[in-house]
Amino acid sequence: MEIDYLIIGQGLAGSLLAWELIQRDKKVIIVDNNRLNASQVAAGLINPVTGMRFVKSTDVDTLLPSALDYYQNLSLYFKQAFYIEKPMLRLLRNDKEITACTKRFKDSQYKNYLAEIVPTSTGINASHGILKQNNTGYLLTSPLLEALKSYFISLNAYIKTELHYDEISLSPTLQWKNFKPKQIIFCEGHSATQNPWFSVLPFQLVKGEIITALSKHVIPQSILNYGHWFIPLDNHQFRTGASFDRDNINSNISDEVKTKLFESLQQVYPTLTVEQVIKHQAGIRPTTQDKMPFIGQHPHHPEFFIFNGFGAKGSLQIPWHCQNLADKLLNNQTIPQSSNINRYYSLFL
Ligand SMILES: Cc1cc2nc3c(=O)[nH]c(=O)nc-3n(C[C@H](O)[C@H](O)[C@H](O)COP(=O)(O)OP(=O)(O)OC[C@H]3O[C@@H](n4cnc5c(N)ncnc54)[C@H](O)[C@@H]3O)c2cc1C
């Protein structure tokens, strides 16, 4: 069967790209092995100002409106809320942080993102004060991926299977099983490190664990950021995480990490009592060495593209980039240099 695009991976990257191309009347097939992926585990946080120096994320002024618009349109289509906007309270840890963020208040470029510094908030242990941030929130990635999966299934556009790279033939025509796509777009998240055509790209994978739990008492309704974070899902249910581990790249969960996450939460929110752990999950972030996405065309096989490397910022970055990649595929629009894999073409032999 002749199709336009074969997309490998139904994480957030593959799903939004497939959705985008289908909206543009392209014939798309999306293949996924149905394993628990980073997108389902992710907290989905969007936090425009991060780090010890309180710096705006790269291109956030462009990426954020695009992401909010995209999720809003998906919500309208599926009649379901996917993006939950909530203020974030960032606990300041020392005088250096107070100085760094006070400096940002004087910079007009930060006015949409930083609200004020307050001494503390009810029940929260904040010795150096709290920075209130605006334009923050989280994406409900699992329900979004479920909704999109059902949509792809309804179009006969979803295949649940493991794609083995040696099943792809390049000549006489590009083919996988009985599909003859014009192009194949690889969106396999961290598994791209096994991809024979793109594994040379400098990924720097980071494992993360995250916990969903229930509290006996009513919990605060802001996102808390204290090195780790706390996200209220309703009046009693919350998520906390995520750990950050570059050395053990696997999907195992550990009691040691769980204890650490709860200890760190207990320090900032001493009165919180955990009644039940609902879920403890681990995932692997497809992070890259230069912290920028890996998007573009293979230098020797123009029929192969990659759409990957969204690290810890997939919710913010993927909507804008999937539209840009669709523009590249359909109208030969350029991919921004900072995320284009042509910056690494010298690594491809
Ligand atoms: C603990 C944790 C917390 C995070 N928190 C946040 C956050 O707060 N905010 C944020 O924006 N991001 C966060 N992230 C990062 C976010 O998850 C990623 O940026 C994003 O989800 C990556 O999506 P993806 O589609 O590239 O990869 P994935 O979601 O991993 O999807 C890849 C898909 O490809 C499939 N696949 C791979 N190989 C094959 C094959 N050969 N055949 C068939 N299918 C295949 C996989 O099974 C998977 O379904 C977090 C990640 C983790 C692990």
In a shared domain, residues 155 and 135: no
Q: How many angstroms does the Cα of residue 297 sit away from the middle of ligand 1?
A: 20
Find out whether 38 and 283 touch, Cβ atoms under 8 Å: yes
In a shared domain, residues 297 and 186: yes
Length of the chain: 349
* pLDDT value of residue 94: 92
User: Of 285, 303, 324, which residue is a domain's last?
Assistant: 285
- Give the atom of ligand 1 at the shortest distance from the alpha carbon of 209: 1
Find out whether 304 and 310 touch, Cβ atoms under 8 Å: no
List, for residues 117-168, the tens digit of each pLDDT value.
Answer: 988 777 889 989 999 999 999 999 999 999 999 999 999 999 999 999 999 9
Q: How many angstroms does the Cα of residue 193 sit away from the middle of ligand 1?
A: 13
List, for residues 198-231, the tens digit of each pLDDT value.
Answer: 999 999 999 999 999 999 989 989 999 999 999 9
Cis peptide before 319 (omega within 30 of 0): no
In a shared domain, residues 229 and 245: yes
* pLDDT value of residue 119: 85
User: Of 107, 123, 139, which residue is a domain's last?
Assistant: 139
In a shared domain, residues 156 and 24: yes
Phi, psi of 251 (to 5 degrees): -105, 20
Which residue ranges have their beta carbon within 6 Å of ligand 1? 8-14, 31-33, 35, 37-39, 41-45, 162-163, 187-189, 191, 208, 210, 241-242, 283-286, 308, 310-316
For ligand 1, atom 31: residue with the closest CA: 11
Find out whether 46 and 74 touch, Cβ atoms under 8 Å: no
Q: How many angstroms does the Cα of residue 288 sit away from the middle of ligand 1?
A: 13
- Give counts: helices (H), strands (E), the chain: 7, 21
How far apart are alpha carbons 176 and 185 in whole angstroms? 13
For ligand 1, atom 2: residue with the closest CA: 42
- Give the atom of ligand 1 at the shortest distance from the alpha carbon of 40: 29
In a shared domain, residues 192 and 316: yes
Closest CA to 336 of 110, 58, 61, 109: 58
In a shared domain, residues 52 and 134: yes
In a shared domain, residues 257 and 340: no
How far apart are alpha carbons 202 and 154 in whole angstroms? 37
In a shared domain, residues 242 and 309: no
- Give the atom of ligand 1 at the shortest distance from the alpha carbon of 307: 26
Find out whether 39 and 134 touch, Cβ atoms under 8 Å: no
* pLDDT value of residue 123: 84
Q: What is the CA radius of gyration of the chain?
A: 21
User: Of 285, 308, 333, which residue is a domain's last?
Assistant: 285
In a shared domain, residues 315 and 299: yes
In a shared domain, residues 57 and 130: yes
* pLDDT value of residue 43: 96
What percentage of the chain's residues is helix, strand, coil (to nearest 5)?
Answer: 30, 30, 40
For ligand 1, atom 1: residue with the closest CA: 208
Q: Which of 194, 285, 295 to mutate to test the pocket of ligand 1 (most atoms within 8 A of CB)?
A: 285
Q: What is the CATH number of the domain that holds 280?
A: 3.30.9.10
Q: CA 96, 101, 103: angle at the middle one, nearest 5?
A: 100
How far apart are alpha carbons 337 and 59 in whole angstroms? 13
- Location of structure tokens 């990659």: 306
Indicate the angle between helix axes 60-78 and 314-331, nearest 10 degrees. Answer: 90
pLDDT tens, the chain, 349 aa long: 999 999 999 999 999 999 999 999 999 999 999 999 999 999 999 999 999 899 999 999 999 999 999 999 999 999 999 999 999 999 999 999 999 999 999 999 999 999 999 887 778 899 899 999 999 999 999 999 999 999 999 999 999 999 999 999 999 999 999 999 999 999 999 999 999 999 999 999 999 999 999 999 899 899 999 999 999 999 999 999 999 999 999 999 999 999 999 999 999 999 899 999 999 999 999 999 999 999 999 999 999 999 999 999 999 999 999 999 999 999 999 999 999 999 999 999 8
Q: What is the CATH number of the domain that holds 155?
A: 3.50.50.60
- Structural domain count, the chain: 3
How far apart are alpha carbons 154 and 29 in whole angstroms? 12
In a shared domain, residues 163 and 240: no
In a shared domain, residues 272 and 324: no
* pLDDT value of residue 207: 98
* pLDDT value of residue 25: 98
Residue 335 to residues 24, 63, 148, 294: CA-CA distances in angstroms? Answer: 18, 14, 25, 10
* pLDDT value of residue 297: 98
Cβ neighbours for 28, distance < 8 A, ≥ 6 positions apart: 3, 4, 5, 6, 7, 18, 21, 22, 157
* pLDDT value of residue 122: 74
State the pairing for strand pair 158-160/137-139: unpaired
List the domain range (segments joined by +) for residue 277. 206-285
